[in-house]
Structure 1
């Protein structure tokens, strides 16, 4: 529904999940407003927020808002929010909010888009559990607020206001079946969360760097991909964000959406198929194996090397990532399968060739799908 100033998109957990493609919502186009007008068994939308302290090991937070009809096929809630944090003492916090409804509203008078995922109010609770993002239309500020039984607090992201992001389907597409956008590639982050646990309260509070990505798929995960790698790294004035898709729809092909930022300026932005060019900007991405921290299952990498190359400008930026902690590890299939989802917090060293190196930290997610599509049972099903 909408009036002259407000446009609202609402989805409930018991709404019908259609078999075919989900129609696109054309009433208002913004990267934080849903593009899909309903739930579909093959479609999902997600908004990913993350932040890391670039000065110390092991401290980060990430949260994702889903409208994901593919989960309904697996008998799971299609409207959910996942949350993970790694604390200064080395402890890890994780969980999910299974929401009853998701309401996203654009208000052109206030200049904001607000998305709220609302859970079921239980006996003894003053309010229904909820998770919310609130973003200025120019994306200069985003605030995520969690009000859940086990976690309360905020993540604030601030960057210089940007021009409108291209919302055309063609510009967002990065590979068969998947659209991906680095909506906020680099922002200053303020994190303040309190966790209520059986052994008492803990708090995560830091200032660092973070960002947001948006994704939309027209295929379910086991149909679309053999695996993915997600990275957001910060080193001094540099931030690089990338998402790699190992395609199952186009076997043997790899597609990567990559963005390199220095301070507030975008230096490189591309979709790469791992090709090298003598004229166009390109990306080189390689796994490394000599470090001490590695993933579980069949993932044996200990880090990565990422190179952004601009032949036309005679520029080359290189970054080495070395895993410092295994943040989480979840199977994508029941044993004896050896595929899974590993999350890392990794050290970063690098910058422009010929200049002094910068140091920082990165958050990384690596997912390997099952060999047989029918073996896939989802990744996480824990509740906050």
Structure 2
């Protein structure tokens, strides 16, 4: 398998990654497949809406730009229409195999911030990591992007160009998703069945009228699928790929480029025994020193812990996050952050409960570098843990670490008043 070595692969990799859901939905029990073609075929009969962008579609002054900040807007619907010169959005999907040695990531992007090369605003980034340490990565620049939303059934996205098409479909309750890749070198299909309810950036479950999707200024993030059972079937450069594991799906939209809004991020996703967990932490570029985490833990599909607090408390639920450097995990050779794993401790003083999870990296899923050792690495790995003082469980885990350089022409601020 070939690795991605062009600077455009590196740049694209940083870009990732509406209906009511009943509060009693059992996300751990539903296992279904999603019909990729049904949405499009019934568009006219079901009041579907379609957002179509060409390679260079953008607002022309004095055109107005719709930038969604409505809490009840469909998570999967486009949040920016049309694009301007600074704002962008992504649909991101990732997954790790049960044994922690294989991984994938897909990033569907509508974003002008990296289009200075003349390649346009529509990119798809895909990368697969294999147990032998090799990786397949590709960035395709689409001629057309269409996102079709059908009430009661879901959303379908398509990024296509000469000889390739990448698609995603997400059900209306955000419990199921399918991602496909079709290019001359690779064909893939990924099925996802959610283990946890959709959540906003402040951890409130979908839907909510008073939730926040803005963890840091000008940067919006929601998680339609915090953790999912996944199945991967692919043929990549003539080699069959098939595995199951854990994955997730995120939605991101931003008024300015990523490095203008955030200094970096930490993400963790895991499944062990009856537990599934998702943690995302962003560092603010606009407010020095501000880091905003949000963690959710589900047991058999039901939320048992959620918090944004990292300070110890005698009353409120809180978390401890610890990066680990040891001989028991894999780490990057190129970047400065030599973390080999993550330790998490979740404590609920009011209930007298505590959960612990330890993650060891087993493989590098993707990586991109900037200057001074900064950049990002996605790891596949193995997690061990559960309720403290109980029998620990073991399962797959995903970790992403990102830090932007303080000064670089690639990450120069594009903030405007």
**Under TM normalisation by the shorter chain, which class is it?**
0.7 to 0.9
Tell me whether 1:354 sits opposite 2:392 in the alignment: no
- The one of 337, 344, 356 equivalent to 1:306 is 344
Flag the 1:257–1:216 CA change in 2: closer, same or farther, 3 A: farther
- The one of 249, 256, 259 equivalent to 2:293 is 256
| Displacement after TM superposition at 1:374 (Å) | 2.7
Cα distance in 2, alignment partners of residues 221 and 24 from structure 1: 16
SS of 1:355's equivalent in the other structure is: coil
- The one of 45, 65, 78 equivalent to 1:34 is 78
Structure 2: state its 5+ residue gaps.
Answer: 1-42, 199-204
- The one of 260, 265, 275 equivalent to 2:311 is 275
Matched positions, count: 360
Q: Mean alpha-carbon deviation: is it higher for 289-298 or for 96-105?
A: 289-298
> After the TM superposition, which residues 64-83 of structure 1 pair with which residues of structure 2 at under 5 Å, given as runs?
64-73=107-116, 76-83=119-126
Q: Contact 1:235 / 1:349 at 8 angstroms: preserved in 2?
A: yes
Flag the 1:209–1:86 CA change in 2: closer, same or farther, 3 A: same
Tell me whether 1:217 sits opposite 2:254 in the alignment: yes
SS of 1:351's equivalent in the other structure is: strand
Cα distance in 1, alignment partners of residues 376 and 210 from structure 2: 28
SS of 2:78's equivalent in the other structure is: coil
| Displacement after TM superposition at 1:228 (Å) | 1.2
Alignment correspondent of 1:286: 322
- The one of 178, 185, 191 equivalent to 2:232 is 191
SS of 1:39's equivalent in the other structure is: coil
Cα distance in 2, alignment partners of residues 239 and 345 from structure 1: 15
Flag the 1:75–1:338 CA change in 2: closer, same or farther, 3 A: farther
SS of 1:278's equivalent in the other structure is: coil
> After the TM superposition, which residues 1-384 of structure 1 pair with which residues of structure 2 at under 5 Å, given as runs?
5-16=47-58, 22-24=65-67, 29-54=73-98, 56-73=99-116, 76-108=119-151, 111-119=153-161, 121=162, 128-159=163-194, 165-166=206-207, 170-196=211-237, 201-272=238-309, 274-291=310-327, 292-295=329-332, 296-333=334-371, 337-376=372-411
Q: Contact 1:21 / 1:40 at 8 angstroms: preserved in 2?
A: no
Cα distance in 2, alignment partners of residues 173 and 145 from structure 1: 29
Structure with the larger RCO, 1 or 2 (CA within 8 Å, 6+ apart): 2
TM-score (norm 1): 0.85
1:4-58 residue CA offsets vs partner (Å, 9 max, x unmatched) = 61111122221125799942358x931111111121333221121122222x241
| Displacement after TM superposition at 1:159 (Å) | 3.3
Cα distance in 2, alignment partners of residues 282 and 17 from structure 1: 44
| Displacement after TM superposition at 1:75 (Å) | 5.2
Cα distance in 1, alignment partners of residues 368 and 395 from structure 2: 26
Flag the 1:325–1:207 CA change in 2: closer, same or farther, 3 A: closer
1:220-252 residue CA offsets vs partner (Å, 9 max, x unmatched) = 122222211122122222221122112221111
Cα distance in 1, alignment partners of residues 77 and 66 from structure 2: 14
Judging by fraction of residues, say which structure has more strand: 1
Q: Mean alpha-carbon deviation: is it higher for 84-93 or for 247-256?
A: 84-93
Q: Contact 2:260 / 2:412 at 8 angstroms: preserved in 1?
A: no
Q: Mean alpha-carbon deviation: is it higher for 253-262 or for 84-93?
A: 84-93
Q: Contact 2:223 / 2:251 at 8 angstroms: preserved in 1?
A: yes
Alignment correspondent of 1:125: none
1:233-291 residue CA offsets vs partner (Å, 9 max, x unmatched) = 2222222112211222111111112221222112223444x333322222211111123
TM-score (norm 2): 0.79
| Displacement after TM superposition at 1:73 (Å) | 4.9
| Displacement after TM superposition at 1:161 (Å) | 9.2
Q: Contact 1:81 / 1:98 at 8 angstroms: preserved in 2?
A: yes
Q: Contact 1:332 / 1:368 at 8 angstroms: preserved in 2?
A: no
Q: Contact 2:197 / 2:226 at 8 angstroms: preserved in 1?
A: no
